[in-house]
Structure 1
Amino acid sequence: MRRILLASLLLSSQAVLAESFSECPSRAFLTQGAIAATYGVNLVTGDYGLLQDNMATKSKVNATGFNPNDNFLYGWGYEKQKPVRIHNDFTVEYLEVANLIDGSGFYVGDVSLTNNTYYVYRKGSDYGLFGISLDENSENYMSMEKVIDGSSLSLRIFDMAFHPSNGFAYSVDKTGVLHRIDVESGTSESLGSTGESGTFGAVYFDVDENLYISRNSDGKIFKVDVGSGNYAAQLFALGPSSSINDGARCALAPVSDVSDVNIDFGDAPESYGTYLKDNGARHGLTDNNTLYLGSNVDGESDGKPMPLSDDESDSNDDEDGVQFATTLQSGDTAVIIVEASSDGILSGWLDSDQNGTFDADEQIIIDKSVVAGKQPVYVEVPAGASAGSTWARFRLSSTASVGANGGVSDGEVEDYNVNITVEGSAVNYYPSSSGWTTVAFEDNWPYEGDYDMNDLVTYLRTSVYRTNGEVTAINIKGELAAVGANYHNGFGIRLPDILRDQINEEDISYTINDRPVIADYSPLEAGRHEAIFILAYNTWSYVSAGEDCLFYRTEAGCGSNVQMRFNLTIPFKTPVESDIAGVFDPFLFATPGAWHGSHFDSPPGRSYEIHLKNQHATEAFDYSLMNGSGQDASDPAAKHFYQTTKGMPWALELGNRWQYPKEYRDVTHAYPQFPSFVRSEGLENPSWYTFNNAVESILFKD
């Protein structure tokens, strides 16, 4: 728990300076204790810290609410049994109110944004719902006016919060029923069950119509989307528990402040719950945070699913706390090595059915105590686990019963892309299980064009699954890194020596940016004998260069974020004997119907392809195009393809995440050793493509 003491000086009521808050804060405020103290609560993580332990009162303060009309907090002070105004130093100023009900002890209250009135409620015929206008121009200013008695409006609630715009107050009673309260008429409507029961002593709204309810007994914070019509409460964070609990926040503020980067989020694809909007897994990083996995942890304001995460960079990668000592084999016990910075509680999940979510029955580690340092942890891989690429999530904190999603106040979450195998199976990765290779194209074949090799740049990673030496499935992951082309091009990959009818087309999985696209079209190209997969018919359909830009990620400031990530899993009908490996056969083709230069009488479409040097084209290619025009020196009879008279290629494959040239900058100028590498047939300057051998000023940088 972080404790920040802002003030401890007891102020007399005569000396109080009425200082309001300077803004509508995103943080929630919680008053607790028989002698009131104020805590700041980060609803995103449940992290809370002491803001004021001396509120200038000798008793508790309840029924609090934030008023965006004047930026003060208001509440009911039990010491003098009258309303209080709470200043920005969290000290109270007792207010003189007409028609005050003595000895009332109100514990439910909030400020209506729409009519600038502080409302308090307590059930029972002697009490009820009352309004106190805070508008100096109102005839009822600072007068306590009864709306309805507490026997006519009889609700077993412990706090309420006003909606940011519709004028209604909302609360959840002890049985878990959500109520909408009309404070003008003094009536209420039961909207439905939230599925959670208990004493919800702190209730808040955010600007997106989400209601947050905090249960006193265990501190769990739930979110209810009142605007959706689905009132089921979703566990959002684990917060502080208390027998005396009342909350308030500015309902016009979002629940998260984008400037708050002291939160650790997961990195798995969006479907697993990574973004805050999806209640992604997250941990508060307090000032004295000493609990994390591995050697370090960094923070952000929201989740960044792979590959947007900084974990793609070796210098910032903080996913280092879990190592897989053995393979994850279906029905077997696997060993992982967990490194914790200090003692904590570990939980883990494995998406064993590969449906893109961590289901309740997929938890493989439940509240396991770990100590500082490295230790083995044994996990059972379900016997029915599907072979292939999937995700695992591990969470370390000081809190037990943490779920796969939601917030906690400390610790760290780490997500890992893993592979599940079956007995007798193996996985071969290229270039590695976590690395990338780059495929880059110049799209002016048979002419050299500007030869900047950035007309289409894609990062790729492949996995080949084998059982008893035979191929059972293939996975291809990729990122569209650059489109520096005036032409419209598509991108495909052929599996060499594999036939179309060997593929189990019905079970192909293809996602773009973690969303399935198989329903729109099958990536397995129809009408072919070869196994050809079309990842995109027009790459410009998936990226945007940005304002004042002609190309995507080849000019400074133009489309600086990767906008297309794809994941293709290809199952075989029966295991296939094949030595298939590496990057397979990636190729560029002309988008059907799109212009591709004045040297074509009509758009060439799929009949036009560019492959890696000396790789023959697919069956869709028109070999009459290899007629010696331009700089092309292809000779199909001699199995020479896609090379110039000097042996230079129109496509490259580099075994790293290559930094390609800027727009219109010749690759031979950016990498001066490249021509000698080609002339020597790879004997000279084999590391020509590395950053150390480049002219840095010519390269594109994110």
Structure 2
Amino acid sequence: MMIRHLLTGTVLLCCSQAILAASTPFETCPSKAFLIQGAIPKTYAVNLVTGDYDIAQDDMGTKAGINAVGFNPNDGFMYGWNYADKKPGRIGNDFKIESLSDVANPTAQNFFVGDISILENAYYVYNSGVSSGLYRISLDQNNANYHKMVRVVDGKTLNLTIYDIAFHPSNGLAYSVDNKGDLYQINTTSGTATKLGATGVSGTFGAIYFDVNGHLYFSRNNDGKVFSVDINNAKYTAVLFAQGPSSSSNDGARCALADVVDNADSNIDFGDAPSSYGTSLQDNGARHGLKSPATLFLGTSVDGESDATPFPMSDDETGVSDDEDGIQFATNLTAGSSAVVMVKASTSGNLSAWIDTNQNGQFDADEQVMTDQPVTAGLKPLYIKIPAGATPGATWARFRLSSATGLEPTGGAPDGEVEDYKVDIRANSSNVTYYPSSTGWATVAFEDNWPFEGDYDMNDMVTYLRTAVYRTEGKITQVNISGQLAAVGAAYHNGFGIRLPGILRSQIDESKVQYTVNDRDWAPYNPLETGRNEAIFIPTYNVWNYVSAGENCTYYRTQSGCGSDVQMTFNLVIPFKEPIESNLAGLFDPFMFATPGAYHGSFFAQPPGRSYEIHLKNQAPTEAFNTALMNGAGADASDPSNNLYFLTKNGMPWAMEMGNRWQYPLEYHDLILGYQKFPNYVATQGSQDANWFDDTKSTPAHLFKD
């Protein structure tokens, strides 16, 4: 019969047609691993990403054991040792074994260690002891030793206490982990072994695999845990990769030319926290296999993906398929106190949780606040202890529900769900006030043509903002500001600033200010503006430095067909030297200004730069503003003597604040076309149509859609 060569795509003739006529090879190089377990063997198809598995075959055509299994991409068959006749056999896509009856076994022994050398197209088996050893069986019909067992080295000389081997996909060497957890590299040509280092785990590792990227996976028999090391990068300390099936008899095979993940497989649930917490597969992120339909999950539903989309691009930020709904924080998270969380589970399982209490961007071993807590279907309260030394401020929590136990904050689980949450830890005896809420966003939008109205599409800069004010005994100790740059529909170059009204720069503990952009520390840039008496923070002097419009687009996220993920997020942590008395609340004072040195229209003889600002209606500018610009030009009706600022003669603003994640107008679409109730809201000074900005009050055809 003819079988396809998976490495080259050529066709080979099998010379044992009479002996091996029934088997059909695998048509592709599968990403799943295959475990063969039991005295009467069964084959399990295992997704190494999660440890989720299904029985692929419960009748392999023999009542005796099968071991030393490997996958051969050269012909699309697996090969294993058939205990029934003490000979090697091959296994096709029906998972039935057929003995290679023409192979003479000079040892009269059975073997439980083996794999396929892809480069040699040869099957290797190994037993310890002087009467046995490492044997090569060529599978290449053009080789003089085709289907002959040739001993490379005796088992006493090689002297390894191992239970399986796996060949690297490209370097021709085999690897194994002994019962002490030591990693060995085996040269099957010379019959020598080199100890590379300790993996940090021990046990009987009866199934060992490679993927195409040079990651070695080894499964421990007694508990089914799958560990991984990165051979190519010499990272030999094992990480727990997934939870798989356990067995006293365990052997595995997979196609080493396949990636460990099938990109078409979206039946995996990943977390949403920033990448540093272990979220994506490349970081061994927390993940759970999803059966169809899923039965074990948190909240009301769970959705799947082929890989994670970490914050700030995660679904809980975009609002698309947000399934983080299983955990409710019923009380504040306060350092040194217990907190109550309401947990909703679909059915019985084990819940574990971690909180990054030191805010170092990862879940450390001592930050586990819940371990294998049994939960049942429905809503129930659980208690977690927040350490006294927990750092106050914004951080992340991870909750993992599964039937498995012993989960870590990263790695795979065969079922269940992972949910990540942004949380705030309070200082002891403190409280925090959020605006608009601890998870919601408010919007501030600008038209940058002041003192002229321009196209009045109110999308020259759109920013989503959230603030938190921390108080102890009624005095403010710290404020946090989080933001997302949602849109830039301006040809001019502009910066974005936030002033803390009534607060002096000298009151800020500047050395402890934290500023991150896209979850990365932005040091040495100091967002606290120098040379000012007021406390003014500048996230950026030019928003175009952080975003791009995209192909065939002029502006960022304001034109139809020019959507993208939000490209800039930022977070400011602003502590005070001493607690202060202030009524500071809301969005504080966000404003837009002209980028220094950049052209800003023919109205200005010279670029106005930092002295040009646009604030919310009737909000006075900062000390950096050039008050000479308020001279009644254009449509401006500002009158500082009467505390009137940045409004037109019709009372319309150049900047607006909305208490939701607002849908702003498309480019060149007047605000009033999208929100027809807005003029009446302005005319009545807010006494009517106060909810003019709700989606239900809008005309969607004039609004930007992600």
Q: Considering the TM-score relative to the shorter chain, is it more than 0.5? A: yes
1:593-622 deviations in Å (ceiling 9; x for gaps)? 333334333433222222111212222222
Q: Which amino acid aligns with 1:296?
A: S
Alignment partner of 1:689 is 2:693: yes
Contact 1:97–1:144 (CA<8 Å) still a contact in 2? no
* Counterpart pick for 1:187 among 184, 192, 195: 192
User: Deviation of residue 570 (structure 1)?
Assistant: 1.0
Task: Tell me which residue corresponds to 1:48.
Answer: 53
Task: Tell me which residue corresponds to 2:675.
Answer: 671
Report which stretch shifted further, 599-608 or 203-212: 599-608
User: Deviation of residue 288 (structure 1)?
Assistant: 5.3
1:490 and 1:176 map into 2 onto residues whose CA distance is: 56
Task: Tell me which residue corresponds to 2:646.
Answer: 642
Identify if the C-alpha distance between structure 1 residues 486 and 167 changes in structure 2 by more than 3 Å, giving closer, same or farther.
Answer: farther
1:287 and 1:649 map into 2 onto residues whose CA distance is: 52
User: Deviation of residue 318 (structure 1)?
Assistant: 2.4
- Percent identity, please: 61
Q: Which amino acid aligns with 2:81?
A: W
Task: Tell me which residue corresponds to 2:221.
Answer: 216
Task: Tell me which residue corresponds to 2:568.
Answer: 564
Contact 1:161–1:204 (CA<8 Å) still a contact in 2? yes
2:138 and 2:460 map into 1 onto residues whose CA distance is: 66
Report which stretch shifted further, 76-85 or 432-441: 76-85
Identify if the C-alpha distance between structure 1 residues 123 and 521 changes in structure 2 by more than 3 Å, giving closer, same or farther.
Answer: same
Q: Compute the TM-score of the two structures, normalised by the length of structure 1.
A: 0.94
Contact 1:36–1:55 (CA<8 Å) still a contact in 2? yes
1:16 and 1:56 map into 2 onto residues whose CA distance is: 15
Alignment partner of 1:413 is 2:413: no
Q: Which amino acid aligns with 2:631?
A: N
2:18 and 2:441 map into 1 onto residues whose CA distance is: 66
Task: Tell me which residue corresponds to 1:594.
Answer: 598
2:172 and 2:595 map into 1 onto residues whose CA distance is: 54
Contact 1:611–1:650 (CA<8 Å) still a contact in 2? yes
Task: Tell me which residue corresponds to 2:705.
Answer: 701
Task: Tell me which residue corresponds to 1:656.
Answer: 660
Alignment partner of 1:501 is 2:527: no
Alignment partner of 1:456 is 2:461: yes
Alignment partner of 1:543 is 2:547: yes
User: Deviation of residue 99 (structure 1)?
Assistant: 5.1
Tell me, what secondary structure is at the counterpart of 2:610?
helix
User: Deviation of residue 183 (structure 1)?
Assistant: 2.0
Q: Which amino acid aligns with 1:659?
A: Q
Report which stretch shifted further, 228-237 or 311-320: 311-320
User: Deviation of residue 29 (structure 1)?
Assistant: 0.8
Task: Tell me which residue corresponds to 2:358.
Answer: 353
* Counterpart pick for 1:511 among 508, 513, 516: 516
1:116-149 deviations in Å (ceiling 9; x for gaps)? 2222222222222222233334343333333222
1:191 and 1:526 map into 2 onto residues whose CA distance is: 54
Tell me, what secondary structure is at the counterpart of 2:621?
coil
Alignment partner of 1:92 is 2:63: no
1:597 and 1:18 map into 2 onto residues whose CA distance is: 76
2:174 and 2:608 map into 1 onto residues whose CA distance is: 64
Task: Tell me which residue corresponds to 2:435.
Answer: 430
Task: Tell me which residue corresponds to 1:6.
Answer: none
Contact 2:390–2:425 (CA<8 Å) still a contact in 1? yes
2:339 and 2:417 map into 1 onto residues whose CA distance is: 22
* Counterpart pick for 1:398 among 394, 403, 411: 403
Q: Compute the TM-score of the two structures, normalised by the length of structure 2.
A: 0.94
Report which stretch shifted further, 210-219 or 445-454: 445-454
Task: Tell me which residue corresponds to 1:226.
Answer: 231
* Counterpart pick for 1:80 among 79, 82, 85: 85
Task: Tell me which residue corresponds to 1:4.
Answer: none
Tell me, what secondary structure is at the counterpart of 1:45?
coil
1:14 and 1:141 map into 2 onto residues whose CA distance is: 15
Q: Considering only aligned residues, what root-mean-square deviation do their CA atoms show, in Å?
A: 2.1
User: Deviation of residue 102 (structure 1)?
Assistant: 4.4
Identify if the C-alpha distance between structure 1 residues 446 and 202 changes in structure 2 by more than 3 Å, giving closer, same or farther.
Answer: same
Task: Tell me which residue corresponds to 2:580.
Answer: 576
User: Deviation of residue 97 (structure 1)?
Assistant: 4.5
User: Deviation of residue 430 (structure 1)?
Assistant: 0.5
Can you give the 5+ residue segments of structure 1 that lack an aligned partner in the other structure? 1-11
Contact 2:392–2:425 (CA<8 Å) still a contact in 1? yes
Alignment partner of 1:153 is 2:158: yes
Report which stretch shifted further, 624-633 or 498-507: 624-633
Task: Tell me which residue corresponds to 2:6.
Answer: none
1:207 and 1:694 map into 2 onto residues whose CA distance is: 52
Alignment partner of 1:104 is 2:116: no
Q: Which amino acid aligns with 1:209?
A: G
Tell me, what secondary structure is at the counterpart of 1:232?
strand
User: Deviation of residue 317 (structure 1)?
Assistant: 3.3
User: Deviation of residue 313 (structure 1)?
Assistant: 6.4
Tell me, what secondary structure is at the counterpart of 1:361?
helix
Tell me, what secondary structure is at the counterpart of 2:682?
helix
1:44-88 deviations in Å (ceiling 9; x for gaps)? 111111110111122121111122222222222211222222111
2:561 and 2:169 map into 1 onto residues whose CA distance is: 38
Identify if the C-alpha distance between structure 1 residues 141 and 628 changes in structure 2 by more than 3 Å, giving closer, same or farther.
Answer: farther
Contact 2:615–2:655 (CA<8 Å) still a contact in 1? yes
Report which stretch shifted further, 75-84 or 99-108: 99-108
Alignment partner of 1:245 is 2:245: no
* Counterpart pick for 2:480 among 454, 463, 475: 475
* Counterpart pick for 2:180 among 175, 190, 193: 175
Tell me, what secondary structure is at the counterpart of 1:125?
coil
* Counterpart pick for 2:444 among 418, 439, 446: 439
1:642-661 deviations in Å (ceiling 9; x for gaps)? 22222222211111111111
Q: Which amino acid aligns with 1:470?
A: K
Contact 1:266–1:281 (CA<8 Å) still a contact in 2? yes
Alignment partner of 1:524 is 2:561: no
Question: What is the total number of aligned residue pairs between the two structures?
Answer: 690
Report which stretch shifted further, 611-620 or 286-295: 286-295
Tell me, what secondary structure is at the counterpart of 1:677?
helix
Q: Which amino acid aligns with 1:83?
A: P
2:175 and 2:635 map into 1 onto residues whose CA distance is: 73
Tell me, what secondary structure is at the counterpart of 1:624?
helix
Identify if the C-alpha distance between structure 1 residues 630 and 188 changes in structure 2 by more than 3 Å, giving closer, same or farther.
Answer: farther
Alignment partner of 1:621 is 2:613: no
Tell me, what secondary structure is at the counterpart of 2:641?
helix
1:288 and 1:668 map into 2 onto residues whose CA distance is: 46
2:511 and 2:90 map into 1 onto residues whose CA distance is: 65
Superposition pairs for residues 306-345 of structure 1, below 5 Å? 306-312=311-317, 316-345=321-350
1:543 and 1:17 map into 2 onto residues whose CA distance is: 60
Tell me, what secondary structure is at the counterpart of 2:316?
helix
1:420-460 deviations in Å (ceiling 9; x for gaps)? 22343211110111111111112222222222211211111
